[in-house]
Structure 1
Amino acid sequence: MAFHGYAAAPTIAALFCFLYFFHRRLCCRHPLLTDYPILGMLPQLLFNLWRAHDFFTEILKRHGPTGEFTGPWFTSMDYLVTCDPINVHHMLSKNFHNYVKGPEFRHIFQAFGDGIFTADFEAWKYNRDLFHSLFKQKSFEVFLVKTIHNKVHNGLLPILDHVQQQGRVVDLQDVFNRFTFDNICSIVLGNDPNCLSIDFSEVAIEKAFNEAEESIFYRHVVPRCVWKIQRWLQIGQEKKMTEACKTLDQFIHARIASKREELSKYNENEMGEAHHVDLLTALMREGKAHDDKFLRDAVFNLFVAGRDTITSALTWFFWLVATNPSVEAKILEEMKEKLGTKEKSLGVLSVEEVKRLVYLHGAICEALRLFPPIPFERKQAISSDMLPSGHRVNSGTMILFSLYAMGRFEETWGKDCFEFKPERWISEKGGIVYVPSYKFIAFNAGPRTCLGKDSSFIQMKMVATAILHKYRVQVVEGFVATPSLSIVLLMKDGLKVQITKREL
């Protein structure tokens, strides 16, 4: 009897596998890739991982803007993937409350804690209202612009002058990383670490942010059981994640403790409110009940929002401009035309001046369309729903929006969608063409639209005009711009350029 039982086991297992495979085929009605037994569609993704964003763009163009990705059996790697603006509009705006980040998202993005990017429902609303009130304060707006202006004038331009005089190749992405890190430290913590220095020494905290973001991307492309085992054993990418989070936490908590001590002294001396308007100070004064964990999570989320995204946008913008001389010429011509006789003594432009540069605005929007700083977004359905495209969404379904693919779809942007063409953003009357946020989704859409959108444009325009007026940026011969495998769309090997002074 025992022998017959053992002999039947493989048959039962084979039957079970066949039935499960058949069940998956029935459930997956719109497959994006070949669904292999046991491994699902993961092998094809891993084979194309080095070009993941372009790979998914090609797949979505071939099979339609919405389809299903199924991971290995019995893993939580099944997704509905879409780049259809109508579906995006439905999920991010019309039926916003049914599509949340969810517990799985918070598990993968554990480094973000319970900050605004991972929170849902009342916790998200509280964070949103709090930051909105802080960002709209006039004192903060003045402080923000002054900080950016001073860093461009006293940090960025002197460094580029030094590099230009030496005639050496420089990684412009690294320069922007340091520039934005100093900026965000000043704006959030009220302290400038001066990472943007001539010696370009390694900054441990900056490296830790990059490693944490790469680890989060890694968690999206391997089964949860794999990265959980790696975390338990402290090996591979998960070891880097643990070490990065430790470095980040030590840095942030030290600044929080220092700020508390600083504020207690100011209170004792009855110093005025205007002396400190950085966001950490404002958070401490705005909510006396905010504990260190809340402040840590808030600071981390603000750092990612205000540092990495700006670095990404500036890096891809300058690469596109440097490789499209006609666009560069038009930006310079607009600066000369709109700013009149100021062109020869141009320094760092004011907010009012950069707002007049329509073609530059179009060029930045084009860069963000083609290379959105956050290349994909992730949501989870609370209840069953039917998307406008006709695709069924079950309760608990994970959805991925490919923002990268959305900027490359003919149906939305026309047959020239792969071209860098700032003119598509400019109307016949010379104004900015309005594009709904669910089509141009670089700053998200619906209630979760980025609060820092306007300040981001101001910062990018200040940097772009200051550099383009004084210098010509030339990409080194043979350099290939490759997107990094991270949740933020940086360049894998940086942006290698030579800086030369522009003839005025």
Structure 2
Amino acid sequence: MAMLAYEAAIIAAFFCFLYFFHRRQCCRHPLFTDFPILGMLPQLLFNLWRAHDYSTQVLKQRGGTAEFTGPWFTKMNCLVTGDPINVHHVMSKSFPNYVKGPVFREIFQAFGDGIFTADSEAWKYNRNLFHSLFKHRSFEVFLEKTIHNKVQNTLLPMLDNLQQQGRVVDLQDVFNRFTFDNICSMVLGYDPSCLSIDFPEVEIEKAFNQAEESIFYRQIVPICFWKLQKWLQIGQEKKMTEACKTLNQFIHACIASKREELNKYKENEMGEAHKDLLTALMREGKAHDDGFLRDSVFNLFVAGRDTITSALTWFFWLVATNPLVEAKILEEIKEQFETNEKMLGVLTVEEVKKLVYLHGAICEALRLFPPIPFERKLAIKADVLPSGHSVNSRTMILFSLYAMGRFEETWGKDCLEFKPERWISEKRSIVYVPSYKFIAFNAGPRTCLGKDLSFFQMKMVAAAILSNYRVQVVEGYVATPSLSIVLLMKDGLKVKITKREI
């Protein structure tokens, strides 16, 4: 009996040796401590509350690229990198070899088959379609008019009311409502008036937030775990199901209403009220079914709502906590428009192009706090990255956009400083930085189609608010990134608004 126990112990030890040897061979450049069976997941979960800063710190120690292994028998293994040369290789030079992949589409199921999850021909079709819509002059005019009216008639009067009351306000919530109204107007052609002094609760907006939180959750736990939750309809997956049901009902109702509305008009009878993207999609592609339209609308909502909210929120926090930058932005506005009397109004797209320092300040905010903090790709064939790391077929590559903005090798020893000057040349023009270094708008063929439109919107909002009001962060407030697929502030941005002296 004792002999059998002895032999069993030897066999167990042998298999343990094989297991650890296999793990060591598979993970030559570990990101975190590799625990038996559980892999590196415990260390990730333990530091989840500071996930972005912690991953940045560890990546710096590992030379910019390292491997992450999840629990045994899970599909959580990936290569994590913030090295711009690796990003350039994956996103541009070897673009055909790296795709979103089926696992990505499972995790981002709420996005359907839209442009963010699509690969190959489906992605090309979506991109060409949206490119033609965004570049259409009528849409650019419609976009500018929509933003201008929303800022002039709703945002500024609301801030004026808040400053008169002396209330503390969550500026992130304000921007969330502002961008939600804007994206509804741009995509669907109607304004839900979410931005209001009484801050109404909007079910559809809450559903979007919940879906994004659940998607983030799916990326940090084993697939088998969240799939089990989905099957049992418990926890985050129950919330995800309810959120998607609300979203689908809302979007499909809008599509049906739009079809009914368009059937009443002939094409030559459509005026300015019919320049929204849903109308354009229905007119551009007669064969587009409701499923395609639903996925397109969802993807456009995420692209044009949360990313702008994130960018504006972090921008105003950085400006409010860096008074010298604020003073330079105001000085530039005054210099450009001192005889225009538009200093206290809303500038046009052509006018905001003159605000070079403001543009640099927004780029700095996006560098330090990219709205999408992580990007992931899947290798089709085996490859070797420029950093020397081997990539097997079906290997997942995870880019930390957040870490990339904090590498001294790329941005210098002052990389943690909010310094708009790094974007401005001696001739007072914007310094060009390759997209694989400044990746806030993605890089390579998948570079964001709405990049210019986003800058116009952010500059119009920023110039209008800063010209009229001073934003002061409440004493003791600490800005903490949220755990979501979009880099928002965990507790919002609590500020007081005061009227600026003219």
Within 2, Cα distance between the matches of 1:338 and 1:414?
A: 31
3-state SS, counterpart of residue 336 of structure 2: helix
Matched AA of 2:473: V
Check the 8 A contact 1:384/1:395 in 2, yes or no: yes
Within 2, Cα distance between the matches of 1:7 and 1:132?
A: 69
Matched AA of 1:304: V
Aligned twin of 1:210:
209
Which residue of 327, 347, 367 maps to 1:369? 367
Aligned twin of 2:464:
466
Aligned twin of 1:72:
71
Aligned twin of 1:392:
390
3-state SS, counterpart of residue 401 of structure 1: strand
3-state SS, counterpart of residue 397 of structure 2: strand
Q: Deviations over 1:211-257 (max 9, x none)?
A: 11111111111111111111111111111111111111111011001
Deviates more, 1:361-370 or 1:422-431: 422-431
3-state SS, counterpart of residue 341 of structure 1: coil
Aligned twin of 2:43:
44
Within 2, Cα distance between the matches of 1:213 and 1:10?
A: 47
Check the 8 A contact 1:336/1:343 in 2, yes or no: no
Aligned twin of 1:409:
407
3-state SS, counterpart of residue 342 of structure 1: coil
Within 2, Cα distance between the matches of 1:305 and 1:344?
A: 30
Distance apart, 1:13 and its partner CA: 4.8
Within 2, Cα distance between the matches of 1:270 and 1:23?
A: 68
Aligned twin of 1:497:
495
Aligned twin of 2:134:
135
Aligned twin of 2:378:
380
- Provide TM-score, normalisation by structure 1: 0.97
Aligned twin of 2:358:
360
Matched AA of 2:21: F
3-state SS, counterpart of residue 378 of structure 1: strand
Distance apart, 1:15 and its partner CA: 3.3
Distance apart, 1:272 and its partner CA: 3.5
Check the 8 A contact 1:335/1:343 in 2, yes or no: no
Distance apart, 1:4 and its partner CA: 8.8
Within 2, Cα distance between the matches of 1:78 and 1:129?
A: 33
Aligned twin of 2:437:
439
Matches within 5 A, 1:253-292: 253-267=252-266, 271-272=269-270, 275-292=273-290
Within 1, Cα distance between the matches of 2:209 and 2:312?
A: 17
Within 2, Cα distance between the matches of 1:89 and 1:8?
A: 53
Aligned twin of 2:192:
193
Matched AA of 1:501: K
Matched AA of 1:322: A
Q: Deviations over 1:19-43 (max 9, x none)?
A: 1221011111111111111000111
Aligned twin of 2:180:
181
Aligned twin of 2:89:
90
3-state SS, counterpart of residue 339 of structure 2: helix
3-state SS, counterpart of residue 269 of structure 2: coil
Distance apart, 1:273 and its partner CA: 6.3
Q: Deviations over 1:300-354 (max 9, x none)?
A: 0000000000000000000000000000000000000111223575300011110
Matches within 5 A, 1:298-309: 298-309=296-307
3-state SS, counterpart of residue 455 of structure 2: helix
Aligned twin of 2:311:
313
3-state SS, counterpart of residue 377 of structure 2: strand
Within 2, Cα distance between the matches of 1:293 and 1:12?
A: 55
Q: Deviations over 1:422-467 (max 9, x none)?
A: 0000111111111000000000000000000000000000000000
Distance apart, 1:384 and its partner CA: 0.5
Going from structure 1 to structure 2, the CA distance change for 1:342 and 1:389 (only over 3 Å counts) comes to same
Q: Deviations over 1:384-440 (max 9, x none)?
A: 111111111110000100000000000000000000000000111111111000000
Q: Deviations over 1:140-169 (max 9, x none)?
A: 110011101100011111110111111000
Within 1, Cα distance between the matches of 2:303 and 2:199?
A: 23
Q: Deviations over 1:45-84 (max 9, x none)?
A: 0000001010100000111101101110010110100000
Aligned twin of 2:80:
81
Within 2, Cα distance between the matches of 1:318 and 1:483?
A: 15
3-state SS, counterpart of residue 380 of structure 1: strand
Which segments of structure 1 move beyond 3 Å, counting only runs of 4 or more?
Answer: 3-15, 272-275
Check the 8 A contact 1:379/1:399 in 2, yes or no: yes
3-state SS, counterpart of residue 398 of structure 2: strand
Distance apart, 1:9 and its partner CA: 6.1
Within 1, Cα distance between the matches of 2:342 and 2:74?
A: 61
Aligned twin of 2:123:
124
Aligned twin of 1:150:
149
Matched AA of 2:235: G
Matched AA of 1:116: I
3-state SS, counterpart of residue 218 of structure 1: helix
Going from structure 1 to structure 2, the CA distance change for 1:331 and 1:282 (only over 3 Å counts) comes to same
Within 2, Cα distance between the matches of 1:10 and 1:72?
A: 24
Distance apart, 1:10 and its partner CA: 6.6
Deviates more, 1:467-476 or 1:210-219: 210-219
Check the 8 A contact 2:189/2:273 in 1, yes or no: no
Matched AA of 2:124: K
Check the 8 A contact 2:64/2:83 in 1, yes or no: yes
Unmatched tracts of structure 1, length 5 or more: none
Unmatched tracts of structure 2, length 5 or more: none
Going from structure 1 to structure 2, the CA distance change for 1:431 and 1:18 (only over 3 Å counts) comes to same
1:240 pairs with 2:239: yes
Aligned twin of 1:297:
295
Within 2, Cα distance between the matches of 1:154 and 1:140?
A: 21
Within 2, Cα distance between the matches of 1:4 and 1:382?
A: 49
Aligned twin of 1:222:
221
Distance apart, 1:6 and its partner CA: 9.1
Matched AA of 2:19: Y
Within 1, Cα distance between the matches of 2:442 and 2:343?
A: 38
Matched AA of 2:145: K
Within 2, Cα distance between the matches of 1:185 and 1:30?
A: 46
Within 1, Cα distance between the matches of 2:272 and 2:341?
A: 35
Aligned twin of 1:428:
426
Distance apart, 1:492 and its partner CA: 0.4
3-state SS, counterpart of residue 198 of structure 1: coil
Which residue of 321, 324, 331 maps to 1:323? 321
Distance apart, 1:86 and its partner CA: 0.4
Distance apart, 1:16 and its partner CA: 2.7
- Cα RMSD of the aligned pairs, angstroms, is 1.6
Q: Deviations over 1:168-216 (max 9, x none)?
A: 0000000000000000000000010000011101111111111111111
